[in-house]
Each structure stands twice: as C-alpha cells, then as structure tokens.
Amino acid sequence: MKLAGMTASIAGKAAKNSFKHLSSDEEKRLQARSDLMQDVGVQIAETLGEMKGAVMKVGQIASQYKDVFPPEVASALEKLQKDAPPMPYAQIQAQVERELKAPILELFSEFEETPFAAASIGQVHKATLPSGQKVVVKVQYPDVDENCDSDLKQVRMALKIAGVLNMSKQLQEQLFNEIRQSLHDELDYVKEAHNLRVFGAFHAEDEGLIIPKVISSHSSRRILTLTEEMGETLTVAATWDNGVKQKIAERLFHFTAGQLFGLYRMHCDPHPGNFAFRHDGSVVAYDFGGIRSYSDSEVQLFKRFVKHALRGDVTALEQDLIALDIRREDDKNIPGEFYEKWLSIGLKPLSISPYQEGEFDFGSSQVHHEAIAQMRTSLKYFGQFQPSATTMMLDRTVSGQYWNLVNLGVEIDLSPLVDEYIDA
C-alpha cells in the first residue's frame, strides 16, 4: 500500500507539472523538471527508507546506478546507503533456529544479541562456535526474498511515471533485469557461500588480500556463518602513513583488476563498509553477494577499450563505445576533442602521461569536479550516449574504488599496476 500510494502521488505530480508548464519556454520547463525530479527523488528515498527488506535494497541498488537516473533522483536515493536500524533479537534468534534447525545455544556457545552491522536485508552478529572458534553470523530478515520482484516492479513503475527513465523499453528491460539478478543473488546466501569459496581460492596466493572462510555446518540459504576477520574502517586507515596506504591502494587495485581480467568474475560492491584494513596494509573483503560474471569477448572488449584510451586513439575508442552499447549508432558527428577532453580527466588518477606525471594525490583529487564541469559543456552530445547493461556493474565498481582511494587520501602512481594488466 505504501508503494502504491507513492506511485499514485508521483503520477499526480508528474501530470500536474506537465500541464502547468505546457506553454512555458524551454528554460522554465527544464527548471520545472529539475524541481520535479528533486521532489520525486526525496519522496522515493523517504518511502523506501521507511521499509525494511527487499524494497529498501531495491532503492539502495538503484542509488548505486547513478548514470541511469537524473542527478536530483540519484542524490536523494544516496541517503538509502546508510545503515538501517537493527531488527529485534527475538526475530533474529527465531530465524537462526528455523534455518539451522537447532536451538541457538546448541549451535553457538556465545551469540552477541546486539549486531555489529545492520543493513536493508539482514544484519551481522559476532558469535563463538562450541569449538571456541570466533565467527560472524549474517542473518537475513524473515520473508525479505518473497516480495522482491513485486517491490522492484513498483519502484520501476514510479520512476517510469515520473519520466525518470528516459530510455528505450528494451534498455529499461536490460537494466532492470541486471538489477533484479543482482538483488536475487544478494538474497541467496548459498550462492554467496559459493562465491566466497571461488574468490578465496582465486586470491589464496595474493599476500595481504583476506577473504573470510565459510562455516558450512552453520550456513543455509538465509544464514551465512564465516570466520571472523576483523580490521579497521577506511576512516581510520586514512590516518595512517602513506606507505601503508599505498599497500592498501595496490591491493584494492589488484582485487578488482585481477578478478576482471583473471577470473572473469568481479566483486561489484566496493562500498567502504565491505572492506576492513590492517596496519600492515592488508585488506579484508566482505559481502560476496553482488558478483558479476563476464564472457571472454566482453573482457577482451574492455581490454581493447582501455588500450585505445591509453593510446589516445579516439576513433577506435568510439567504435569500442558502440560495441559496448554506450555510444548510439547514428550519423551525428562527435568531434575528437570531446573524447580527448574526457580522457584528460579520466586518466589522471592512473598517472598516465601526459595527463599526470608521477604520483597522483587522491586526497586532493579534483577529477570528480572536473567531470561535473565537463558534463555541463558536453550536454549537446549526451543524447548520443546511453547507460549500458554490459558496463553498469563495472562502472559502479570502478567509481566506487576511485572514491575509496579518495577517502583513503593516498598518494600513488598506479601506472605500473595498469601495465601489469594492459599491454598498451
């Protein structure tokens, strides 16, 4: 009822806005649309924020795909990224006992009633096995998975009615199928346990990259018990010596690039809460629910795109963007300077000459501000581009890792790491 009410309210606002500015000039119509989008974004964020479970998770996932939504809606949805309030312990205990089919005090010698982390679809408790081993237990909230498809449909309908989804029906289907699959994956802890084993094996020889191990005897579709692997938050790590921060940055880089180019599967949720950091520069990675797999042809296309970007070959780059379904195939000519300007902004953090020589200072990075300023001057070409289902999760991952390095405040030359993966 809450979702239906939200959708009806947004439909009314959209119709009223459209009628009111029927005869307005273009500038007034654009301003009115921006105001409407801001209003809609706040309403969606507030409604979803009140609702636990899959519907709030839908909003959180939507907030991570900022290129799909107008900036006013994306910024309002970002509020949903913060931690959700925890669920009462009695319900958590009942869920654990229902899933693992035994009393909680038989399963664990200790189980902390207060969670140390709570999110939209579940919360995490510290516990101790009868053997004395320290573990963490991820408990999914009851009945979350039953309504996720209808929740997603309602959110999509609200966005569509508001005119937020300014794209073809086919592209809408692709994007929301991607979001739906991501949501189903995050709700299936058996699949996440499998991912943890696969990624744990892949990174087994990578010194300083730590992935918790699954305790199968105490895990199910809605309960996931893992070895306790603790570390400090990104905020704490940001206060450490730059030498340690460089080790952390290198490991985050290898974590993402190594998976994409070596495993063809990637951890696609680089939220800072999904990592912990140790004083020796080690990185602990959590939450392997949001994984995206890529075909060999897709990975080779990503590699080709990066090679052409590094070489500044804008003609080849445009063909790569068409192959990735980002650049629409049309007759409109986009000058080379357009791409060159974006390359000069985007390649700086990688210390790629001639755009950046030596170490790049992420702590004082202006790249995101330069990108926003460049967007304003590039508006006339933006109709020739669209979000791509192929790159959506990759975009989210790369931008998330960029922000992790910005918040870490590291000074580092990443070009040798780029060379390890890309033979330009």
- Distance (Å, whole) CA 183 – CA 189: 12
Residues 163 and 259 in one domain: no
Q: Is residue 263 part of a domain?
A: yes
What digits encode the pLDDT tens for the residues 152-187? 777 777 667 666 665 677 777 777 787 788 778 888
289 shares its domain with 168:
no
Residues 329 and 268 in one domain: yes
Domain coverage including residue 76? 1-8+31-85+145-186
Question: Domain check: are 164 and 281 in the same one?
Answer: no
In a domain, 319, yes or no: yes
For a pLDDT cut of 90, what percent of the chain falls above it? 55
The answer to whether residues 165 and 259 belong to one domain is no
What's the half-sphere exposure (Cβ side, CA atoms, 13 Å) at 6? 26
Instruction: Give me the number of domains the chain comprises.
Output: 2
Residue 124 lies in a domain: no
Same domain, 181 and 239: no
How confident is the model over 13-30, as a mean pLDDT? 72
Average pLDDT in the chain: 87
* More confident call, 369 vs 61: 369
Does residue 364 lie in a domain region?
yes
Tens digit of pLDDT for each residue in 127-150?
A: 999 999 999 999 998 877 776 777
What secondary structure does DSSP assign to 13-79, as a single string?
HHHHHHHHTTTS-HHHHHHHHHHHHHHHHHHHHHHHHHS-SHHHHHHHHHHH-GGGS-HHHHHHHGG
Domain co-membership, 162 together with 310: no
Query: Does residue 225 form part of some domain?
Result: no
Same domain membership, residue 172 and residue 288: no
| pLDDT tens-place string over residues 244-301 | 999 999 999 999 999 999 999 999 989 888 999 999 999 999 999 889 999 999 999 9
Same domain, 312 and 164: no
Any domain includes 172: yes
Whether residues 358 and 417 share a domain: the answer is: yes
Quote the pLDDT of residue 205.
Answer: 95
- Residues 293 and 158 grouped into a single domain: no
Express each pLDDT in 66-76 by its tens digit: 556 666 676 66
Count of CB atoms situated within 10 Å of the CB of 21: 16
Show the tokens assigned to 204.
């087994």
Q: What is the pLDDT of residues 358-378, one digit of tens each?
A: 999 999 999 988 988 888 788
Terminal alpha carbon distance of the chain: 55
Residues 281 and 163 in one domain: no
- Token pair 């009851």 is found at 142
Q: What number of other Cβ atoms are within 10 A of residue 382's Cβ?
A: 9
- Higher per-residue pLDDT: 149 or 402: 402
Q: Is the peptide bond before 354 cis (omega within 30 degrees of 0)?
A: yes
